[in-house]
Amino acid sequence: MSAADYYQHMVDTFLGWRDHPEVRAGNWPATLEEAFGIAPQYQYPLSRPDAEAVTGYFMDVYAPARSARNVLRAFEGFIGSGPESNPATA
């Protein structure tokens, strides 16, 4: 997927954050703020504008802070499903 497709994928993922099986099972943080180590600021379920805002934060601030190579808005070639996206089978 393109960088724009990945952005939309992340917006959709964040819109449904509380319904994600890993969140429901308690394996992932209950809020995105907790996941990113930022102060609580959103109501869940997220509205589309809030999901877009947190996606922007994730792509422009959080991910690049973890690695200078995480320039997610410029990267092309994200894989969303299939054996290439599953570390257990790669």
Measure CA of the first residue to CA of the last residue in the chain; give whole Å: 18
Residues of the chain with pLDDT under 70: 81-90
pLDDT at residue 89, as a whole number: 39
pLDDT at residue 75, as a whole number: 81
What stretches of 16-90 show up as alpha helix (H) in DSSP? 21-24, 32-36, 48-57, 63-66
pLDDT at residue 28, as a whole number: 96
Q: How far apart are CA 71 and CA 73, in angstroms?
A: 6
pLDDT at residue 45, as a whole number: 95
Sorted by where each begins, the domain ranges of the chain are 3-81
Cβ within 8 Å of residue 70, ≥6 positions away: 63, 64
Q: How far apart are CA 81 and CA 35, in angstroms?
A: 22
The first and second tokens of residue 25, run together, are 């099972």
pLDDT at residue 83, as a whole number: 60
pTM, two decimal places: 0.82
pLDDT at residue 86, as a whole number: 45
